[in-house]
Amino acid sequence: MAAVDDLDEVLEQFHLAQGELLKGNPEPAKNMCSQREDVTLNNPLTPPAHGWDEVAATVERAASQVRDGEFVSAEIIEKHVTPEFAYVVEIERARPRLVEGRRSPHLLLGLR
């Protein structure tokens, strides 16, 4: 049970970090990421970023394109926890406010 409680706490911290990212602050979201070279960030709006340098750049690019946004909710679709491994699949909802001059939400994380 402790592992599930720990994961729930991490998810809460992650959602708070997402809220900060939507306000233009990338640091909490970057702090939630592994800094190992095998880290991968997969987002439906961008190609996967692999390695700490790419992941950090993607998070910073996303934060630079929004201000005063809001994390609304997360719906957990699947959660699995063992003593060695845990994963969560969730649908996140947010209200991003693009920096003036941005026309497409696809620009949020760097798509062209």
Round to whole Å and give the CA distance between 94 and 51: 26
Going from N- to C-terminal start, the domains of the chain cover: 2-107
CATH topology for the 2-107 domain: Nuclear Transport Factor 2; Chain: A, (3.10.450)
Q: CA torsion angle for 79, 80, 81, 85 (degrees, to 10)?
A: -110
% of the chain residues with pLDDT over 70: 84
Which pLDDT value is given to residue 47? 83
Which pLDDT value is given to residue 4? 67
Round to whole Å and give the CA distance between 102 and 112: 12
Query: Span 75-102, mean pLDDT?
Result: 90
**pTM of the entire structure?**
0.81
